[in-house]
Amino acid sequence: MQQTRSQVTERDGLFELEAGSDVLDSPRYNHDMAPTKVRERTWNKWHITALWVGMSICVPTYTLGGVLTAYFGLSVGEALLAILFANVIVLIPLTLNAFPGTKYGIPFPVLLRSSFGILGSNVPCLIRALVACGWFGIQTMFGGLAIHLFLGSVFEGWKSLGGTGEVIGFMVFWALNLWVVIRGAESIKWLETLSAPLLVAVGIGLLVWAMPNVSMTELLAIPPKRPEGASVVSYFAAGLTAMVGFWATLSLNIPDFSRYAKSQKDQILGQIFGLPLTMFLFAALGVVMTAASVKLVGVTVSDPVTLIGHIQSPVWVAVAMALIIVATLSTNTAANIVSPTNDFQNIAPKVINRTKAVLLTGLVGLVLMGHELLKKLGLIVSDISLETVYSNWLLGYSSLLGPIAGIMVVDYFLIKKQRLDLAGLYRDDVYPAWNWAGFLAFGVPVALTLLSLGSDAFSWFYSYGWFTGSALGGVIYYGLCVMRAQPSAVKTAV
């Protein structure tokens, strides 16, 4: 006989839910969104390290140094320091927001129900989902190009397809990504674990190829592209904010992965081992390879897919493209599909299961890249470039996501004191449908950010958007929660 009331048990600091009919029959619950059982939390620190290596080694990381030097006016040395500092900084919200995922086994949308409300959680979820779908489309474009070049190195006639071949590659890579995620978390875990050493090998191979053709002394001596005599502080801070924005998305939905961690120690060490150094070294490799590209292939090339495509040996092109396909697949599935899959399910868990949510994610990503795909097919002509969208997106979206990160940390650690009603997160009778404190704390920084765009005096608020947004969002949320009485359900939560 099915139990009526859900039971929560603890094992070594990890909580799990024995769902009763009160949760199983709730419209806020489905199997894919349910808390993981303790036996399902099998990711150790090396699995999480591999996850971050797999996500960090990708084409956008490779191009970060070029973005910072071309668009943010930093020298090569300043750009690499900004990347390193940013990834050390972003470890703070990453590890803090991972705590409730590990302790309670809950995904990001369910955690947001505590700070934004059972229904209100859908608003920040959809904001997060949109940027993930955009990144999914961009990464799929890179993966599709790699498939096109791979097939062109194997079949001579394929090259004549040009942009049409790239679009076919896009659709093949698009389908491959969706297939991996539909198979579930274990599929992603093993993809990341197997791909991590391969990706490290790719980086080493590219470095060996490039180093004889570049002088590090000359590279570091290249003057920055900013007004002569201008202070480095504002340029560095803007670049730092943009680099924090690179993983600002994952600092929100890290519970989607930490819910599978064996312990808090595993998730903390895995992220420390896997993120900062990998990002720094692969971005540095991108700077070196771009500088060496003139001697290697005769022109300056800022992305590895196009650079390797210039190699004259079909065999090496095929091998390199196969590895880049693996690299992009490991990044895309984990960083850009898992989150919107959970976010879309949160809208109506009884109607949208994981498979439907994955397909919806793929459809939105396809629509967002429709403009670029039509350009490649020659059906439209446009000057809008992916690189421009990419650099603007980093800064703009980090400003929007910062307040959410601050609110989540303050809610869990300061307001709820790391105590959540696990069963209540899946029902309508414990937490409010809409937590207006969360929306006010989110809305004020976002409004100020938008207003600062039209004011020279407050332009710094936008330039440092993630820092100003997360700090202000957290402070406002804390103040609003302290001023009102706390729900009795939270006082009795386990």
- SS (HEC) of 365-419: HHHHCHHHHHHHCCCCCCCCCHHHHHHHHHHHHHHHHHHHHHHHHHHHHHHCCCC
State the pLDDT at residue 215: 81
Q: In the block, which residue shows the tokens 């808390």?
A: 35
Domains and their CATH numbers in the chain? 43-378 (1.10.4160.10)
| Residue type at 198 in one-letter notation | L
pLDDT reading at 109 higher than 70: yes
Which residues on adjacent β-strands are paired with residue 14? 11
- Spatial neighbors of 262 by CB under 8 A, at least 6 apart, are 41, 42, 43, 44
So what's the pLDDT on residue 314?
82
Q: Rounded CA gap, 30 and 48, in Å? A: 26
pLDDT, position 398: 56
pLDDT for 238? 81
Which burial class, exposed, middle or buried, applies to 28 when counting CB atoms under 10 A from its CB (0-12, 13-18, 19+)? Answer: buried
pLDDT at position 384: 65
- Judged against a pLDDT cut of 80, whether residue 81 lies above it is answered with yes
Tell me how far apart the alpha carbons of residues 57 and 275 are, in angstroms, rounded to a whole number: 10
Please give the pLDDT value at position 487: 52
**Mean pLDDT of the 31-48 span:** 95
Residue 380: pLDDT over 90: no
Which has the higher per-residue pLDDT, 277 or 493? Answer: 277
Segment (H or E) for 320: helix 314-332
Rounded Cα distance, 468 and 382, in Å: 35
410 vs 301, higher pLDDT = 410
pLDDT over 80 at 312, yes or no: no
Largest CA distance in the chain: 77
CA distance 374 to 105: 42
- Supply the mean pLDDT for the chain: 87
Question: Residue 3: what pLDDT?
Answer: 65
Q: What is the per-residue burial (b if ≥16 Cβ within 10 Å, else e) of 339-354? A: bbbbbbbbbebeebeb
pLDDT the model gives residue 397: 66
pLDDT in tens, 113-125: 999 999 999 999 9
Sign of CA dihedral 378, 382, 387, 389: negative
**pTM beyond 0.85, yes or no:** yes
Q: What pLDDT is recorded for position 30? A: 95
For tokens 């320091």, name the residue.
81
Taken in order 375, 140, 310, 288, the sign of the CA dihedral is positive
Is residue 159 very low, low, confident or very high in pLDDT (cuts 50, 70, 90)? confident
DSSP class per residue in 187-234: HHHHHHHHHHHHHHHHHHHHHHHHGGG--HHHHHHSPPSS-TT--HHH
Q: Which amino acid is at 353?
A: N
Tell me: pLDDT of 221 over 90. no
Q: CA 63, 66, 70, 76: dihedral to nearest 10 degrees?
A: 150
DSSP secondary structure string, 442-455? HHHHHHHHHHHTT-
Q: What is the pLDDT of residue 235?
A: 86
